[in-house]
Amino acid sequence: SQQGEEDPQALSIQEGENATMNCSYKTSINNLQWYRQNSGRGLVHLILIRSNEREKHSGRLRVTLDTSKKSSSLLITASRAADTASYFCATDPSGNTPLVFGKGTRLSVIA
């Protein structure tokens, strides 16, 4: 079963624009993570936000978490063509259970 649901399923933007992807989940979590996957490759960890955190930054990435709404968002600022990939949110329900991934958002950044 997949707990996280990303929205939108696909997103196409021009280089230099910001990209926002959203993730909703169903049960309480210990932390939420975002991963990126280039075509034909494995997933790469981007950022982890714990349930007691509301916002986190890493370079051009900004992640927010609203546990009352059971939702998170990933913002990529000043997007580049190289940001083209699929982005997945994954929830960790208890800290000792496997991550549950959503279906992902396919981002296309057009140069």
Partner 1 sequence: GAGVSQTPSNKVTEKGKYVELRCDPISGHTALYWYRQSLGQGPEFLIYFQGTGAADDSGLPNDRFFAVRPEGSVSTLKIQRTERGDSAVYLCASSFQADSPLHFGNGTRLTVT
Binding span for partner 1 by CB under 8 A among 12-20, 27-35, 54-62, 74-82: 27-35
**Residue 33 touching partner 1 (CB under 8 A):** yes
Beta carbon of residue 2, minimum distance to partner 1 (angstroms, whole number):
6
Widest pairwise Cα distance in the chain: 42
Q: How many CB atoms lie within 10 A of CB 85?
A: 20
As beta bridge partners, residue 66 has 71
d(CA 29, CA 102): 14
**Residue 97 touching partner 1 (CB under 8 A):** yes
**Residue 100 touching partner 1 (CB under 8 A):** yes
Find all residues with CB under 8 Å of 12, minimum gap 6, and list them.
107, 108, 110
**Residue 69 touching partner 1 (CB under 8 A):** no
**Residue 30 touching partner 1 (CB under 8 A):** yes
Question: What is the contact surface with partner 1 in residues (CB under 8 A)?
Answer: 2, 4, 30-31, 33, 35, 40-45, 48, 88, 92, 95-104
